[in-house]
Each structure stands twice: as structure tokens, then as C-alpha cells.
Structure 1
């Protein structure tokens, strides 16, 4: 990173501190993460949510509606949203505010070692205790809560969504190439080769945002060793040179050699990658249920609408994971600042979390709770229901996205070098050594050590 860019980002972070300080500053006093029923009366005041979500997404839309209704009966209350959808920029802002002790009442974070450190300092409320105090803990999907947990099982963030990620594919293009759904993960490169020979782009990939390719890196290691491998790798207790890591490296190199992704994939954005698939130019598109409105309704081009189906992450023989275990995230979670938690915050959050599931499910999305039913759009194809039914049958072990697990420096290096590996511009051996060296230099200490 250039010195000029570093300076600009630092100034942006400091500006964020100044912007939030007046909205939700906390004191330097250690909080009580277990105190979920603060004493005193509900006195209206503004609260702030520092978040990393699409500004026009269902979560923000629904929460704005709930906050507006709450404000009618609590003059002086308002929910201030500070939105930074770009995840790397958000993480920098979040960590800058945390370092300055200026985090607001609510803030988004994955269950990272950094967040675990904040929780250990008493700066995040124990969400399991909070949800139980509201009487709604058992309404949540266990898998949605488990996605939010720290490595030690503690729960300090609230899920606002639930997704399942599939490999959507075009049945007509598969038939043209004479291929069937790959039975194992190791069959995918051969599937790509056959599609290429038929003049078909095998897989549409958003390479510009980097996380979609990183998803592919997580798959072989998960099928080889389950979710424990990435937990060990991020603390430098495992290596890419280990068998699960080499399963990932060799498979990714094979995908590249087979030409699985479109030419110039690293410069292709989200919308363009999606268009490659929805226009019938690419055979496979690995994405989550958040895209069902685009893939399983009348919005999809009639020329391909009836040809779209999906398969789940293929397994491999002898895997410690089940066929119904794959990526099923509940998104970035919302933490509650224990230092600013007062009767008003508790009261508003209770109303919000009680009303949110039904309003969210009415948008056609999967709720993180099981006490509501998703409203399927009137123009949905049968694929919409099929995808929802599959999401309800996901097993307990999850593929944890590596971008939520690795430290920022190691994650950036991995994302950059993955492109080189898949393009054939870096050998498997060099890739392994560089990533292992970067993790060894930057891995966080295990909490408690």
C-alpha cells in the first residue's frame, strides 16, 4: 500500500472517530457483559449502529421501520445508521473506533479474534444471556447462532439473516456439454474441461470482490478435515503444507488449469459475473439464497428460467463432513456495547428483535429464527421453494468463510495470491510457502494466552 493511500485511510478512520464520538461514545470504565437488565427508567435518546450492510438491503429497511415506530412512542429517540458496505473499509473504521474507545451502542462484527478481545475486556454484551432474558433464544436457528460464536463457544453477536450457498447451474448447458452434476469435489475440474470443449464458460466468478474465489479455497480443506482446520490455521497451529491445506492448493491449481473461470475473472465485478450466468453464457454460479429474487423469479431471463437448478457443495469419499454441510452463513453479526447499554437500549432492542423476524421474512428472505415463514414471491419459480427447503436441512458443521477467520494481513495476502495461483502465475509450492509465512508473522494469539 502506498504512503499516500495509507495517509488517506488513516484520516478517514480519524474522521470516523470524530463523527461517532458525539453519537455513542463510551467511557473507559470496564463494562459488565453479563448485566442484561440495567436498572433505571427508559429515557429516550438517540442510539447509533455502526454497520456493514447494503444501505438498501432488507435488514436496514426493516430496522428503519421498527425504529420509526418506536420513536412515535419515545420522542427523542432515533436510530442513527453509519453504513460502510465495503467490508475492508468497514473493518478499518471499526477497529479505529474501538482503539479510541468510541464504539456506539451497536456495531457489526464477525466472530474474529479482535472481537473476542473486545468481549474479554467487557466491551460487548453476552448475547446468549440477552436473548434468553427476552425469552427468544430458542426461536433462533442453532446454525445461525453457531455461525456467530467465538471459537470457545461464547455468543456475543446477534444474527439478522440466514443464508445457504449453492452452485446454481444451467441444465441445458450441462446437457450440451454431455456432463452431469459433479459427484465429488474432485470431479469439478473435469466438468470444467468438458464445458470448455463445448465452447461454454464453466463458472461465472466475481473476482473483483475477492471473497468469492476465497470461498473456493475453503471447500477442499473443509471436506478433508471439517471446520477445525481453519480454526487451527488462523492461529498458526496448522499449515497449508498439511494435507487439508494441500488439498485446497492442488484443487485450486487444477481449477485454473481446467479454465474453470471466465477469462479476466479477476477484473469481473459482481453484476457482470451474475449476468454471465443469467444470460446463459456461463454454466455455474456459486452464490447464496440472497440472490433468489434474481435467479428464481420472473426477473430471470425467460430463455434460461426453466433451465436453472442448483447442487450443493460436492463431497469427497471418506470426508468427515456430511453432504448437507456447506456454507450457510448468518451474516455479519451485531454486537451490543456493554458500556452504553441502558434501559432505553434494552427496551428498543427487545421490540426490534421481537418484530424483526416476521417483517424480514415478509421480504422473501430467510429469517435467522424458525418462528416465522418466508413469504415466497408470487412470481417465484419452483426453484425458490426448493432452495428454502434445502436451507432448512443444513447440517451442524459449517464451512466458515476464510475472510472472516484470518487476520487482515494474511487474508489480504491470500486473496491476492489466490488469483496468481489460479491463473498459473504462481506455483503451488511458492503459494504455500508465502501464505504460511504470512500467517506465521501475523496470526493473533489465542485468547487467554
Structure 2
């Protein structure tokens, strides 16, 4: 009954959004993906952005400020935000609107197989060509752009963030357990055992959102092959039964049997996982630089602030990626619809992207561009700037999260099966057999 109500609510939400966007989609003409500088007069009008971001987050704050400034110079212009923070509901809305050819001028999307299909269909503007035409391409961090690229290197999404994912840890709890920062991924099981024996939860896990646990699944293959393995796996050209896959699956099973995560981790929400760490009950918290305001400012009590440090993703034996190569996401990207892309959309986007680094940096976040420093909050600890500066030192290869790489069916099933594997409710062999079957059935056709 509950699922039926949720589906009905989402359907109503999508229908409402389609009506709201019908005016935008019905009369607008489309340009070719590479026609990034359409000729004509800049005529102010309302344009829309379908997005899935926190309403009080730095991105929306900055864009609202800049769009307001643009509207003052161009009477009649406005940017309408159509927000759905809940990601699963957003994805369903996005796919429904795309199928009906009702997507607005701007819309959020990851570099997923679905996004690649939209690009092939000609729905999305060539962002690399657009940025180069505007003279802005060279200003962006390579890691921020690379996170938005498809496997062939093409770029169809604009990055608005620049983050690094690290492991924050409690030095006092490490000392109590007599352990040190792990040098390799293989050190994690023993580390967890020692921490648990000392009376500490080893790793605070936000299991309800599912992707954080899936992130762990990506670590071993990334260290062993870079992104080569996931590129083949998602197409059914590699299997979890291969050596690389087996090592990753066994490592995840070992994390579970070593008690690395708190009891009931699969139902633990983001805020509760963070609180488990900041209250001193968990020794490690894997998250991104987006959490610095909670971990490296005076919002945290003085005693805890002194104990928090961080380490980056450990390597493995015979790793092909380096210590400075790990997960460095630039968030969900913004695509530009070829339908409705006209001189005013281009003019606004150029103005937005020119002004964005300063406005976004003022919120205390690292910008997706270089040479535009963020404003360090007055209540920040030294750790804040130390972690933020890691964005300037990210290596050539960054770990592409599996939740943006796999087709939606395989990804959902993988997230579900990982919980069973880590909880010990499924053996590695059963996990491998199940997931190889699911990916073989769904992966190849997602990339046709």
C-alpha cells in the first residue's frame, strides 16, 4: 500500500511538472548539439532549470543571486527552479519528461547510460564546444570536467562543484585501539577488528542512501585497473567472477565479517551516520569535502575538533592508480537542452558561468574552476582549508562512482545485494552469480 501511494504521488508530481513545462517544450525549436552560438537577438524571457539539489545549498544560492543580477540588466528574464531534492523521484521525473520530449532548457543529470542516450538522440548540447566558444573551458579544473564526461571523452554536462572524498578519522580512538592509518585497502579488516575490540564502531556508514556502501565496492577495482574494469563490467564485457571482481567482492565480505560498520547500518540515514562520528562513537567517517562545515568549524565541540584528521583512499598491492587519484566528484551536472537553446539562453549561461566562481566561492565551497579561491569561513579550523586544497592536487585519473556508471536496473540490484553480502546474509559466490546475471541481462542493452 505504501509503495502504491508513493508511486501515485510521484506520478502526480511528474504530471504537474509536465504541465508546467509544456509551454517551454511545445513551441521551442531545437538546434544541433554543436550549434553552440545561435544567431539572433537576445530576447529576455523565462527559462527553466529542472534540478535535484538542496534548496539551501551553495549552488542554488549562487545561481539565484546571479540570475537576479542578469534579470536586472535584462527586464523580462527570469530563471524558474523546478526542484526535486529526492533523487529517485527526480530520476523518474527526468525520464518521464525526456520520453515526452518536455524537458526544460536546463536540467540536472549524471553521466549515466540514460544521459548518453539523450546525447546520442541530440537532446543535449555539446558543453565542451559551448565552453570553448565562450572562452571559459580552460578555466575549469580537469577533475571537475572529467567527472562529467562519457567514456568516449565527450562532455555534455556543466560542473558546478569540485569535491574530494576522504576518510575522516578520530585520532584518539585510533590511539586507544593501538592502530594506525591504513596503508593499503587490505589493512581495513584488521583495522576494523582492532577498533571494534576497543569498544568503538569502526566506520560510520550512511546505508540508507545506498551509494556510500557502493562507493566501497568501487575502491578495489579502481586501485587495480583504474576505471577500465567498470567500463567493461557495465557493458557485460567483464564479470564479477573475473579476478578483479572476485577480489572486490571478497574485500566487501571481509569488511562485513570484521564488523566494520555499525549494527543496522543499512537503515542509518546521512545525519545519523555523521552524528555517530562527531559524537566520538565511530572512528572513521568516509565522506566528501561538502561536509567540512560540520567537521572542521566551531559547530563541532572543541574536544572533537582537536581529534579529527583525514586520510585519502589507500592503495593496494600492485596498484595502477596513485595516492592522489581517488574519488573527486563535481556533483550532478547541468545539461543544456538543444530544444529551446537560443541567444538568450546562451547569453545567460555565459554571464552565469563568468560570475559563478566568485558567488559560489563566497559560500565557503571549492569552485569547479581554478584561480578562484573560496572564502574560508571565519569559524573554520585549519583542517577545513587543508582538505579543501586537495582539489588543487588531484591526480590525472579519478574514480568514477559505480552508481553513475551502471544501468539503473543493475545499479539498484547491486546496492541491494551489497547489503546482504556485508551483513553475511549472502555468500560471495551467490553475490557474484546473481550480479553477473543481472548485468549480463541489462548492461549491454543500456549502451546500444
- Shorter chain as denominator, the TM-score bin is over 0.9
Following the alignment from structure 2 to structure 1, what is the Cα–Cα distance between the partners of residues 107 and 444? 22
Match of 2:139 in 1: 139
- Once residues 266 and 112 of structure 1 are traced to their aligned partners in structure 2, the CA distance between those partners, rounded to angstroms, is 25
Aligned match of 1:74? 74
How do 1:413-424 residues align onto structure 2 when only pairs under 5 Å count?
413-424=413-424
Where does 1:14-413 land on structure 2 (aligned, <5 Å)? 14-22=15-23, 24-25=24-25, 31-413=31-413
- How far apart are 1:444 and its partner, in Å? 4.4
Q: CA deviation at 1:275?
A: 0.4
Q: C-alpha distance in 2, partners of 1:414/1:13?
A: 27
Tell me the CA shift for residue 429 of structure 1. 0.7
Give, in whole Å, the separation in 1 of the partners of 2:318 and 2:26: 51
Q: Distance in 1 between matches of 2:306 and 2:124?
A: 47
Aligned-pair CA distance for 1:443? 1.4
> Structure 1 residues 300 and 2, CA, compared in 2 at 3 Å: closer, same or farther?
closer
Answer whether contact 1:71 1:77 (CA < 8 A) is retained: yes
Q: CA deviation at 1:9?
A: 3.8
Name which of structure 1's ranges 172-181 and 242-251 shifts more when overlaid on structure 2. Answer: 242-251
| C-alpha contact 1:27 1:101 (8 A) present in aligned 2 | no
Do structure 1's residue 430 and structure 2's residue 430 form an aligned pair?
yes
Deviation at 1:12, TM superposition (A): 3.6
Query: CA, structure 1 residues 171+277, in 2 after alignment: closer, same or farther (shift >3 Å)?
Result: same
Report the Cα distance in structure 2 between the residues aligned to 1:381 and 1:167, rounded to whole angstroms. Answer: 17
**Per-residue Cα deviation, 1:14-72 (whole angstroms, up to 9, x for no partner):** 333223223x2156966301111111111111000001111110000110011111111
Contact 1:325 1:394 in 2 (8 A): yes
After the TM superposition, list the runs of 4 or more consecutive aligned residues in structure 1 that deviate by more than 4 angstroms: 1-8, 26-30
Q: Give distance in 2, aligned partners of 1:385 and 1:181.
A: 21
In 1, distance between residues paired with 2:407 and 2:86?
17
* Structure 1 gaps, min length 5: none
Uncovered stretches (5+) of structure 2, i.e. residues with no partner: none
1:30–1:121 CA contact under 8 A, matched in 2: no
Contact 2:30 / 2:341 at 8 angstroms: preserved in 1? Answer: no
- Give the secondary structure class of the aligned counterpart of 2:123: coil
Does the CA contact (< 8 Å) of 1:30 and 1:122 recur in 2?
no
Residue 446 of structure 1: how far off its partner (Å): 6.9
Q: What is the SS of the residue equivalent to 1:25?
A: helix
Seen in structure 2, the aligned counterparts of structure 1 residues 444 and 63 have a Cα distance that, compared at 3 Å, is farther
The CA distance in 1 between the partners of 2:289 and 2:153, in whole Å, is 26
Contact 2:227 2:399 in 1 (8 A): yes
The Cα shift of 1:4 comes to: 6.1
1:7 is displaced (CA, Å) by 5.0
Task: State the alpha-carbon separation in 2 of the partners of residues 429 and 339 from structure 1.
Answer: 48
C-alpha separation in 2, matches of 1:122 and 1:427: 44
1:301: Cα distance to partner? 1.7
Structure 1 distance, partners of 2:346, 2:444, is 33
Distance 2:436 2:11 in 1: 28
Superposition CA RMSD, Å? 1.6
